[in-house]
Structure 1
Amino acid sequence: MEAAERVVAREGAAHLTLDAVAREAGLSKGGLLYNFPNKDALLRAMVDSMTDRIDRRREEVRSEVVAGPNKALREILAVEKNELIDRRAGLAILAASAENPSLLDPIKARLSEVREEIAATSSDPLDAYIVWLARDMLMMWDVLGVSPFEESEVEAILARLARRAAGHAWTWD
């Protein structure tokens, strides 16, 4: 999977092929096919790896987040945006999902679970969803490389979202 991410980073998602990944990994194509019988299998493994990485990191921060309002949301916000999705893997998954939308099914299922966790730990789920959406949009823009914000602005926005998730009223200071 690391070889696949390197191919995407260097050549773009359109050039993610089993041949390119085998060359990058220093394997024969047959060796690669043993583990990933086709490109969709490789991409599914990349999706699984990404969601597993997010879940592991969130589990690590879970004990650091004290009880209080929006606990699930605050756990999500405690995970740094650059720890969540490797830009290369994210681009490959997005590009591949255009050809095969079912590759996103595990992500859809995981997002539904997270939505339920947020609702269960929030006194105002809609407010919590707004914070979650804003945070994830910042992440998506970063993955796509189109964010209009400077890093300092992103940090300020994330800090404001964290305050809101902690139960503080929206402020415009």
Structure 2
Amino acid sequence: MPRPPLARTKILLAARQIVERSGAGALTYDELATVSGLTRGGITYHFPTKDDLLRSLLDDDIKQWRASEQASRPSNVDPALAELIGFIRSHTSEDESKRRFVAGMLSAAVHQPELLDSCRSEIARQRGDQRWDEAGLKCYLLRLAAAGLFWEELFQLHPLPTKVRKQLIALMERKAEQWSSTEPTAETATTDAEEQHKNR
């Protein structure tokens, strides 16, 4: 696979820097030319419109999230559990650059929801083999908890003490290990029996 042109990479790095610092609204071709050191014509050659640039930024960000999740996976466990733990760790990592970028992109995404199409596709890809039995729902609950913590911290809604935050993440990982098992647990069997009894 050929490497992307150096100028294109330079433009995306500069654009991300602007978004992290001042938000997507500040991402103009003039500002991008100043930060990247490239000409406006050189920028529009790779990104004819601002929407093209924003979509490419989001695509690039998705690749970074994937890499973060992959790097966070433990190597000595079942692949499905490793993927879940990688998701939890990636979403709860204290990566200020990632948070600033997401915050900077929010207004653009709210005003142009179609910009998030690549994010929707990525989530659909991740959920392609999602099971909706009790074990699958429990794993999905942990994904929601990790994503919820990310968004709560992004908006600084209710900062957790450092010790409590670590305990919460450790609890998520322990539950991931307990709940990702394909074998029915006593708790699952009890719940299933109760559900069957109610449906009679």
- Tell me the TM-score range normalised by the shorter chain: 0.7 to 0.9
- What residue is the counterpart of 1:59 in the other structure? 70
Measured in 1, the distance between the counterparts of 2:141 and 2:154 equals 20
Distance change (3 Å), C-alpha of 1:38 and 1:119: same
1:37-76 aligned within 5 A: 37-62=48-73, 64-67=75-78, 70-76=81-87
Q: Map of 1:92-103 to 2, 5 A cutoff?
A: 92-103=104-115
Instruction: Pick closer, same or farther for the CA change 1:162–1:62 going to 2, 3 Å.
Output: closer
CA 1:138/1:109 → structure 2, altered by over 3 Å: closer, same or farther?
Answer: same
Structure 1 residue matching 2:38: 3-state secondary structure: coil
Corresponding residue SS for 1:64: coil
Does residue 162 (structure 1) correspond to residue 166 (structure 2)? The answer is: no
Cα distance per residue 1:57-89 (max 9 Å; x no partner): 333445615128744322322435346971232
Q: Is residue 2:151 matched to residue 1:148?
A: no
2:118 to 106, 113, 117: 106
Corresponding residue for residue 130 of structure 1: 141
Give me the whole-angstrom Cα distance separating, in 1, the residues matched to 2:156 and 2:42: 33
Query: C-alpha separation between the residues in 2 aligned to 1:145 and 1:17?
Result: 28
**Stretches of structure 1 lacking an aligned partner (at least 5 in a row):** none
Q: Structure 1 counterpart of 2:108, which letter?
A: A
CA distance in 2, matches of 1:144, 1:77: 19
Decide whether aligned partners of structure 1 residues 3 and 45 sit closer, same or farther in structure 2, where only a CA change above 3 A counts: same
TM-score under structure 1 length normalisation: 0.80
How far does residue 117 in structure 1 lie from its aligned partner after superposition? 4.2
- When structure 1 is superposed on structure 2, of 158-167 and 24-33 the one drifting more is 24-33
Report the Cα distance in structure 2 between the residues aligned to 1:83 and 1:114, rounded to whole angstroms: 22
CA shift at 1:106, angstroms?
0.9
Q: 1:96 to 1:66 in 2, by over 3 A?
A: same
1:57–1:97 CA distance, 2 compared to 1 (3 A)? same
Letter paired with 2:103: L
Counting aligned pairs with the same residue, the percent is 26
1:4 aligns with 2:15: yes
- Identify which range, 25-34 or 89-98, moves more after superposition: 89-98
Query: Structure 1's 104 and 69: CA in aligned 2 closer, same or farther, altered over 3 A?
Result: closer
| Structure 2 equivalent of residue 89 of structure 1 | 101
**Distance between the aligned counterparts of 1:84 and 1:116, measured in 2?**
30
1:137 Cα deviation after fit: 1.3
Higher Rg? 2
What amino acid does structure 2 have at the position aligned with 1:94?
A: L
Asked whether the 8 Å contact 1:73–1:128 carries over to 2, the reply is: yes
Contact 1:46/1:89 (<8 A) preserved: no
